[in-house]
Structure 1
């Protein structure tokens, strides 16, 4: 973990959090009958019917046989308080003398989690149940929300809420793009002095890493986010595969990634085949292509095969005012290869330009290739 992040999280954990006013969720015709108190700083008033509708956990445990029903005179039919276990994980327990005592027993959340960050993530998780648009601050927050939704068996409702929330979360979109473009520049350096050196096995990455977010999207079964992150992973795969592959395999995503990557690989191969075939049969074309290649010679000599977006982008631009029998076929293939399939993270740059100087963004995942059952509504 980055020392600055750890130090910041430590400072936040030690700081005495402020107690806020209760957050009262509304539902037409219903009065809140559940109180949830988290870490002594945040209180939520919600409805049992909403919790049961969207969460298998609450459906099972709110009215479990071993629980004593609240007295008719009680202010709340269900009253829960957060309790942190010895391992740092936390959950909700029925509010009572024992629960009240154990809620502040000195057990700490594992860094970089803090009571405030957990309470915020839980509130946004509740927002999903109530169909309230939510701005996601960054990738770590979405990971926290997903962890909570998974624990409370409510992943489907969180996934559905993202169809709205993602468009209200510009900071989150900037966060996922930051490392999905910079990851190229942080790719592992190959040590040519040690032939056959075994790369380190890495299965965990920062929250905003494209591999982390691809795995998260698969867990949420969210096709838009999954396709977005697949575009990034494929665009950076050739230089990072030795480091990223263990995590991809562990998540069971290697088949869909291989199929998607190979489609882009073969498309680029067709482009270069047509380019060089044209150079054999058309002298004007040969002069045009070789002239461009000579300008980019130093860059091309140091890049791998799937890092040639800059060359293809410039070739497409140079062909705009060039007439040749070869042009039509190559131009159509270049259009497909230089397509930008990003939906959430589109910026003012195209493949081969700006932030995406080396990256192809044309990867596509068909519905039939998504790594989950599209007909399943509860998971």
Structure 2
């Protein structure tokens, strides 16, 4: 029997899959592909965190089912982290929950609190789960700008005035993936004020709050007075502690939203493996010099990448935070769009990037580069990119011939 399932029908083809297939074919053919495509940290998890995992895993009492909302010690460690970092008090029993990474938490909360036809406000471009978590849950998504300027609030007001039904939730993400844009506490205060007035819940994703380079550390929306009335915030261990495969994240804030996520997770999972949660507790409570080292590593790579791209004739803004550079397509290649440009760069320069169209239609004039290759490999990629840019006329002519033959 053949039929399309309703939720699958609402998901477009995964744009990144096309580049990933090309990348896999090239590697199978023996090509050395330098991969800036996925934000997958290349460095090991700090040793003291791994050691705590191993120590705990040797105890057979930790091998059973865990707690779907997270072990108490880890929720207390999250509350202590918020107190240290932002002077925000959390009740670890009612205002905090452990998730299997922030992606799972966002998707499950969307499932828990969304009714079919709800209108959700999501930045465009955005990390895919920010919109597709709600699309899968049956919502209608309305795009708003990533920018923190006046146009953001104009878009919010227009959405309230012209959406039927009225928007029920707003998703925000600063430091932003993919654009690397940051915001300040004044912006968060204005968001909270607007959303409290219009009774709109706010889901804030701050997965990159510890990967910053210039200026002050990024704020938390929960610093705003009254934020917990409407806000829940997602954080992650993945980038801060080089723990992407461990799948540990958190949600904190509004007790009603935390309760909804807790309830739905109680039906869906038993939580992360207890030794992983114990090791995550050690990460939050332990020495933080490893976080400083990770931040410095990304800063050095960022500088090599941005300076090298400029030397190749590709001028890309230097990201103040995150592990990504949001690069406008070089002028000679603008007509191709981000997907075709990404494929061309992979084929001709053996450099993989993420096409901006994969983050929404407003990302199509850009590609995202993740600083996940070491400085030596980054410089190697930059030499290839410079050659690619220097020979752009020949590259474009060859690409047109291939398209014509196809």
TM-score interval (norm. to shorter): under 0.3
- Give me the TM-score of the superposition, normalised by structure 2: 0.23
Higher relative contact order (CA 8 A, sep 6+): 2
Structure of greater Rg:
1
More strand by share: 2
